[in-house]
Structure 1
Amino acid sequence: MIDDYICFCHNRKNLNSKTIKSYRIDLRQYKNYIEKNDMEWRGKQAIESYIEELHDHYKPKSVKRKIASLKAFFHYLELEDIIENNPFHKIQIKYKEPFILPKTIPLNSIKAIICYAYEQIKLATTVYSQKIALRNALILELLFVTGMRISELCSLNLDQIDRNDYIIRINGKGSKERLIQICNSKVQQLLDLYIDKTQNDNNRFFFVNRRNNPLSEQSVRYMISNYAKKARITQHITPHMFRHSFATLLLEEGVDIRYIQQMLGHSSITTTQIYTHTSISKQKIILATKHPRNKMEIQ
C-alpha cells in the first residue's frame, strides 16, 4: 500500500522527489514500528503509541512532519475506500514547536560576500574559472534578490527564466508555482552574461558542476561558507539565511507582509509572520522616535 501511495503522490499529486522521499521514509518507519511491536496498523492505539515514540526521539519540527506524512497516507486510504474509518478523525494531536527566531545576515556582510564574488569574476584567468565565478556570483545574487529556497535554486532550468522581463518562474513546495521579478540592473546584467557564457553547453540545468550535473545543495553551502570566510565574515552563513534576510529587510522597509508571503511562496501568512519578530533594530528606531512617552517631560 505504501508503494501505491508513493506512486499516487508522484503521478497524481505531482509532488517533488524530495517530498516523496520524505514520505517514503516516514511511512516505512511507521511500518517498522508496527511490525516490531506486533500492533494493528489501522488502530487508534497504535498511532497514538507511535506518536509518543516520536516525541521521545525527535525534535517537535520532525515529529510534526512525520505525523503529517502518516495523516496524509491515511487520508488517501480513506478516499480510496481501502479503510472504512480513518483513525486520525478520533486523535487529537498537540505539540508545540519551540519559537526560534530566523537567523539573518547583516546587510554589510551580504554586501561583503557579493563584492568578493564579483572580484573573483575579475580575477578569473581561464574560460572555466570565469564560468565558475559567474555562477557563484549569480547564485548569491539570486538567493538575496529573490528569497528563493536553495532547493528551488538548484533545480532551476533555463526555461524557467524570462530574459525579456527578467522574471523567474519558481517551482516551490507542493509543486506550487510563483513568479518573481529581478529588478536590479546589475543582477540583470550578470544573469545575461552567465547565460551567454554557459548555456551553449546544451545543458537544461541552469546551475551545474564541472561534470555538467545539477549543482548540489551541499556544493552551494560549501561555496557560500568559503566565500564568507574569504570575505572575512566570522558569522556562519547558510543559504537559507539569505531567504530570512530577504524577508526581514523587506519588512523593515515597510513592505506589506502579504506581498512578502507571496514572494516567499508561503501557503499560510502565519509562516511569514515569524519575520515580524526579527526586526529588532527597526523596533528600536520606532520606539525611540515615535512612542508618546518620549515626548513627556516629567520632573
Structure 2
Amino acid sequence: MKKEISFFLFHCKIEKKLSPKTLKAYEADLRQFDEFVKKEDIAKITKEDLKLYLQMLSKYASRTMKRKVATLKTFFSFLEFEESIENNPFHKVRIKIKLERLLPKVLSITEINAILAYAYLEKERISIKKSYQYKEAIRNIAVLELLLATGIRVSELCSLKMVNIGKDFETIRILGKGNKERNIPITNKATKEALQNNYLSFQELIDTSSCFFINRFGNPLSTQSVRLLVKKHALKADIQRTITPHVFRHSFATLLLEEDVDIRYIQHFLGHSSINVTQMYAHVNEKKKTELLMVKNPRNFVRF
C-alpha cells in the first residue's frame, strides 16, 4: 500500500506537475486511508472497506469528505490504469455527497473604503519616511490594492515575481492553479502607484530575490503574513467579522458581476474554471478585458 501511494504521488509530481499544496493534501488523505484499512496488499481492499471508511469520514464537513473521496477515486483509477490492481473497488460503490451551499463573504464598498482609508492613514502617520515601518506600510497598501483590483489568490500574490509585472505596472501575469497563466490589466491609477511605490521602496531586495512582495528578512512575503495583514486592517476599520484575502477575491468577482460584467470574463480574471472552460476562455480578447476593467473595476468605485 505504502509503495503504491509513493508511486502515485511521484506520478502526480513529475507527470501531472501538481502543486506542492495539492500533493500534500493527496498524501495526507491517502496516509489516513492506509492507516484505517491496515492492509498490506492493496488488491485485497473491497467495497466493504470503502463503505466503512466512508462511514468514518461522515464526521467531517461535506466538502472535506468530498475531497478525501475524490483523492481515493483518483488513486484507484490510476492503479487500475497502471494495472497494479485488477478490480477497482469504487466501480461497485455509489457515493453521493451533498454539499451545503454557502454564500461567499463579500465586502461592501463602504467596508473597502474603510480598510483602504486606514491603510493610507497609517502610512501618513509614520514620521520617519526612511524607516522600515514606513516601507512596510507602503507594501501593505500595495497588497490590499492588488487583492481588490485583481481578485488574485493569496498564494498567487505571494509568489508574484517582478518579471511578471508589465511595463509601467499596467498588467500582471499570474501563474495559477495547474500552472495556468493569465494576464490581468491594472487600470486603476491608485493601484498602479501602489505597486510602483512598493517596488521603489524594496527595489534592491526585489531585484536580488526577484519576488515582488518582500518581508523584513528579504524573503518572499508568506501567505500567513498576508492573512494577518488583512485581518489587522479589517479590525482597525471596525469591521466586526473575519475578513481574509479570499473575501477580497469574492468581493472583486461579486462587484464585477453586479456591474453586469459577463461571467466569462470574471472566470478568466479569477483563473477559476474547469479545463473545458479554460479552453473556451483562452481566447478572451485582451482589449476587451482592459476596457472592462477600465470601466468596471471595483477600485474605481472606492472614493479614497
TM category, shorter: 0.7 to 0.9
Is the counterpart of residue 218 in structure 1 residue 224 in structure 2? yes
> 1:257 corresponds to which letter in structure 2?
I
Q: Indicate the SS of the match to 2:173.
A: strand
> 1:76 corresponds to which letter in structure 2?
F
Tell me the residue number matched to 1:232. Answer: 238
Where in structure 2 are the equivalents of 1:204-215 lying within 5 Å? 204-215=210-221
Deviations 1:188-226 (A, max 9, x none): 121122112213111232222212222222221211121
Aligned with residue 176 of structure 2, among 150, 159, 172: 172
Q: Bigger shift: 154-163 or 250-259?
A: 154-163
Name stretches of at least 5 consecutive residues in structure 1 with no aligned partner.
272-299
CA distance, structure 2, for counterparts of residue 41 and residue 113 of structure 1: 57
Q: Is the 8 A contact 1:34 1:40 kept in 2?
A: no
Q: Is the 8 A contact 1:138 1:190 kept in 2?
A: yes
Structure 2 CA distance for partners of 1:245 and 1:59, relative to 1, 3 Å? same
Aligned with residue 127 of structure 1, among 106, 128, 131: 131
Structure 2 CA distance for partners of 1:47 and 1:175, relative to 1, 3 Å? farther
> 1:62 corresponds to which letter in structure 2?
T
How far residue 245 of structure 1 moved from its aligned partner, in angstroms, is 0.7
Tell me the residue number matched to 2:56. Answer: 53
Is the counterpart of residue 262 in structure 1 residue 268 in structure 2? yes
Name stretches of at least 5 consecutive residues in structure 2 with no aligned partner.
278-304
Q: Bigger shift: 131-140 or 233-242?
A: 233-242
How far residue 77 of structure 1 moved from its aligned partner, in angstroms, is 1.4
Deviations 1:144-196 (A, max 9, x none): 11111112212222222223462222222233222212111111121122112
Q: Indicate the SS of the match to 1:159.
A: helix
Q: What is the percent sequence identity of the aligned residues?
A: 47
Is the counterpart of residue 18 in structure 1 residue 24 in structure 2? no
How far residue 31 of structure 1 moved from its aligned partner, in angstroms, is 0.5
Aligned with residue 141 of structure 2, among 137, 145, 148: 137
In the superposition, the TM-score normalised over structure 2's length comes to 0.82
CA distance, structure 2, for counterparts of residue 225 and residue 39 of structure 1: 45
Is the counterpart of residue 242 in structure 1 residue 248 in structure 2? yes
Is the counterpart of residue 75 in structure 1 residue 81 in structure 2? no
Tell me the residue number matched to 2:33. Answer: 30
CA distance, structure 2, for counterparts of residue 178 and residue 104 of structure 1: 23
In the superposition, the TM-score normalised over structure 1's length comes to 0.83
How far residue 98 of structure 1 moved from its aligned partner, in angstroms, is 0.9
Q: Indicate the SS of the match to 2:209.
A: coil
How far residue 42 of structure 1 moved from its aligned partner, in angstroms, is 3.5
Deviations 1:46-80 (A, max 9, x none): 2222122111x200000011111111111221222
Q: Bigger shift: 152-161 or 35-44?
A: 35-44
Tell me the residue number matched to 1:278. Answer: none
CA distance, structure 2, for counterparts of residue 27 and residue 144 of structure 1: 37
CA distance, structure 1, for counterparts of residue 40 and residue 78 of structure 2: 24
> 2:119 corresponds to which letter in structure 1?
A
Q: Is the 8 A contact 1:39 1:46 kept in 2?
A: no
Where in structure 2 are the equivalents of 1:82-231 lying within 5 Å? 82-124=84-126, 125=128, 126-164=130-168, 166-201=170-205, 202-231=208-237
Q: Which consecutive aligned stretches of 4+ in structure 1 deviate over 3 angstroms post-superposition? A: 36-42
Q: Bigger shift: 244-253 or 178-187?
A: 178-187
Q: Indicate the SS of the match to 2:214.
A: coil
Q: Indicate the SS of the match to 2:202.
A: helix
How far residue 38 of structure 1 moved from its aligned partner, in angstroms, is 10
